Amino acid sequence: MGGAQFFQYFLSGVATGSIYAIVGIGFNIIYNATGMINFAQGEFLMLGGMMAISLQTFLPLPLAITAAVAATGLLGVAMQIVFLSWLRKPDVLRMIIITIGLSILIREAALHVWDEKVHALAFWTGDETSSLAVLGARLSPQLLWVLVISGLMVAGLTLFFRFTLTGKAMRACASNGTAARLCGIKAPRLVTLSFFIAAAMGALAGCVVSPITQTQYDMGMSLAVKGFTCAVLGGLGNVGAAVAAGILVGVLESASIAVLPLAYKDVVALTIMLAILLVRPQGLFAGIGRKSGPLGQAHGGA
């Protein structure tokens, strides 16, 4: 396989992987804030995409996307306040069932509001035939957008958690809730904020992939599964690791297409993930340089 071919596979693998990573990050943010796994995470991508598609008929594209992201964020907040805020302690079984139920609810609601057809958002730049040449590989400009947006989101989150007061407050809640409350940090508000961030991020990711992977009312489930496995693979709660794990999974999938028949794509990626989890169940990057905290920074005196 020539260099250009290899780079082609690698690039498309990184792009797919970064979407899984975004979903994984969404899982991690909510997990860090609440100890809960939100299985409706994948639906946020679907909602963001669908809303933007509906809005693009009478709004310019950037506005449509912003509106969709904001609306999905608010929906995430509503979801948290109505269904989840009364859960005092994250009882594992309960929260799993509630969030799975929520994902089904959202999916069916989407089916009724929109329809079961496949829709696609307009390409952000160019159209469906645009093709850029990058180091011998040819790809749609939209793929570059995926990489850029994912990178910006991760960078934005890092800066948020590290340098803003609210971000630091969220990290404080995640590492020691009681101490944080004693310092006057209002935990419930931050939990709501975490849902807003996770939902908005998911929506933006949904908008950026929609032109190439299309959006359909039931796309959320498989994305949620892949994103969750990335989150676990990296070590639950470790946002940076979820990114690395996501890219790893994406590249593995791409590599498997090159070597094996396409039919084995999902099998290969899942098998490797299973193998890694059998050997190291706490995740690949667990314990590397941190204890807990939204972005995996070491804290205390370490």
* One character per residue 7-46, x = contact with other proteins (rule: CB under 8 A): -xx--x---x------------------------------
Least distance from other proteins to the Cβ atom of residue 132, Å:
9
- Binding to other proteins by CB under 8 A, coded x per residue (else -) over 68-107, reads ----------------------------------------
- Judged by beta carbon, residue 108 or residue 128, the one nearer other proteins is 128
- The least distance separating other proteins from the CB of residue 127, rounded to whole angstroms, comes to 6
How many residues are present in the chain? 302
Sign of the C-alpha dihedral, residues 205, 209, 215, 219? negative
Pattern 179-198, other proteins, x by CB under 8 A: --------------------
Count of residues of this chain found to bind other proteins when the rule CB under 8 A is applied: 33
Q: Which is nearer to other proteins, 70 or 221 (CB)?
A: 221
| Residue list 117-156, contact with other proteins (CB under 8 A) | 117-118, 120, 127-131, 133, 138-140
Tell which one of 93, 263, 278, 279 touches other proteins (CB under 8 A): 263
Residue (212 or 231) nearer to other proteins, CB? 212
Q: Considering the complex, state which of residue 215 and residue 238 has its C-beta at the smaller distance from other proteins.
A: 215
Measured torsion, CA atoms of residues 108, 112, 114, 115, in degrees rounded to the nearest 10: 80
Closest separation in Å from C-beta 99 to other proteins = 23
Integer-rounded Cα radius of gyration of the chain: 19
Rounded Cα–Cα distance for residues 175 and 185 (Å): 13
- Interaction between residue 280 and other proteins (CB under 8 A): no
Pick between residue 223 and residue 241 the one whose CB is nearest to other proteins: 223
From 96-104, 200-208, 254-262, 280-288, span contacting other proteins (CB under 8 A): 254-262
Of the candidate residues 62, 93, 112, 116, the single one contacting other proteins (CB under 8 A): 116
Taking CB under 8 A as the criterion, the residue among 175, 214, 270, 276 binding other proteins is 214
- Closer to other proteins at the Cβ: 28 or 150? 150
- In whole angstroms, give the CA distance from residue 238 to residue 269: 21
DSSP states along the chain: --HHHHHHHHHHHHHHHHHHHHHHHHHHHHHHHHS---TTHHHHHHHHHHHHHHHTTTS-HHHHHHHHHHHHHHHHHHHIIIIITT-SS--HHHHHHHHHHHHHHHHHHHHHHS-SS-B-PPPSSS-TT--EEETTEEE-HHHHHHHHHHHHHHHHHHHHHHHSHHHHHHHHHHH-HHHHHHTT--HHHHHHHHHHHHHHHHHHHHHHHHHHH-B-TT-HHHHHHHHHHHHHHH-TT-HHHHHHHHHHHHHHHHHHHHHS-GGGHHHHHHHHHHHHHHH-TT-TTTTSS-SSSTT----TT-
Strand partners, 234: none
Decide whether 88 or 117 has the Cβ nearer to other proteins: 117
Which residues in this chain contact other proteins in the complex, by CB under 8 A? 1-2, 5, 8-9, 12, 16, 115-118, 120, 127-131, 133, 138-140, 212-214, 219, 253-254, 257-258, 261-263, 265
